[in-house]
Chains A and B, each alone.
Chain A
Amino acid sequence: GQQVMQIPQYQHVQEGEDFTTYCNSSTTLSNIQWYKQRPGGHPVFLIQLVKSGEVKKQKRLTFQFGEAKKNSSLHITATQTTDVGTYFCSNGGSRQAGTALIFGKGTTLSVSS
């Protein structure tokens, strides 16, 4: 079955450093989604990427979708303590099919000030 893998599993950075997490799928994705889960919280939708090679930015966060639509990355510039949490990627399924999301194991980011 389809698998979604993320690396690294954990990352610790000093506040102000950059951070990148990578997501790889065993199959081509129609789209990919990113979620953030704060400690003790629930996953919160960040963004969806649909097009091959797509790049989207949200303030200090940059999301990329690979040309082959099998991988993606999330890059955070100048991390802040508010960025702490676990970042999950998932296959986005399709709105028409309404398929369930398959999540990676996530990358847990810790930031020290």
Chain B
Amino acid sequence: DTGVSQNPRHKITKRGQNVTFRCDPISEHNRLYWYRQTLGQGPEFLTYFQNEAQLEKSRLLSDRFSAERPKGSFSTLEIQRTEQGDSAMYLCASSLAGLGGNEQFFGPGTRLTVL
């Protein structure tokens, strides 16, 4: 499977715990995005990398959230001191810089439930 993969697919945690998610983009894609989606809403942008550089971060992203893409390949998203409001589907997407559009390929997501 050469698509975007995310792990874990589901995560249940207690409030106050830290969680980390991983995203493996399509191998030749140099751009990687994190989104959050709640029921009945469209994906909400969190942050974006080009290669290993984090180029954009949503103002909605609190300081409890941090993302890395150390070697310009896979990325991790960490949420510290989770809150019940963090419960959502966390989607990763990747795209390839170059001519044309900015179509993004999404992974299956990690569903986070904070108890």
Assess whether B106 is in contact with A50, with CB atoms less than 8 Å apart: no
Assess whether B98 is in contact with A95, with CB atoms less than 8 Å apart: yes
Stretch at the interface among B16-24, B43-51, B63-71, B79-87: B43-51
Assess whether B101 is in contact with A103, with CB atoms less than 8 Å apart: no
In the complex, how many residues of chain A place their beta carbon closer than 8 angstroms to a beta carbon of chain B?
Answer: 25
Residues on A with C-beta less than 8 A from B104 are 45, 101
Assess whether A92 is in contact with B102, with CB atoms less than 8 Å apart: yes
Which residues of chain A from 68 to 113 have any CB-CB distance to chain B below 8 Å in the complex?
Answer: 88, 90, 92-96, 98-106
Contact among A31, A41, A42, A88 for B101, CB-based, below 8 A: A31
Interface check A66, CB cutoff 8 A: no
Interface check B107, CB cutoff 8 A: yes
Which residues of chain B from 56 to 115 have any CB-CB distance to chain A below 8 Å in the complex?
Answer: 56, 58, 91, 93, 95, 97-109
Assess whether B48 is in contact with A92, with CB atoms less than 8 Å apart: no
CB distance from A4 to the nearest CB of B (A): 8
In the complex, how many residues of chain B place their beta carbon closer than 8 angstroms to a beta carbon of chain A?
Answer: 29
Contact among A50, A94, A98, A105 for B42, CB-based, below 8 A: A105
Assess whether A45 is in contact with B45, with CB atoms less than 8 Å apart: no
A22-62 vs B: 1/0 string, CB under 8 Å? 00000000010100000001111100101000000000000
Per the bound structure, the CA–CA distance linking A98 and B41 in Å amounts to 23
Assess whether B101 is in contact with A99, with CB atoms less than 8 Å apart: no
Contact among B42, B50, B105 for A103, CB-based, below 8 A: B42
Residues on B with C-beta less than 8 A from A48 are 101-103
Query: Given A100-B45, A100-B48, A100-B56, A105 and B40 touching (CB < 8 A)?
Result: yes
Question: What is B's interface to A at a CB cutoff of 8 Å?
Answer: 31, 33, 40-45, 48, 50, 55-56, 58, 91, 93, 95, 97-109
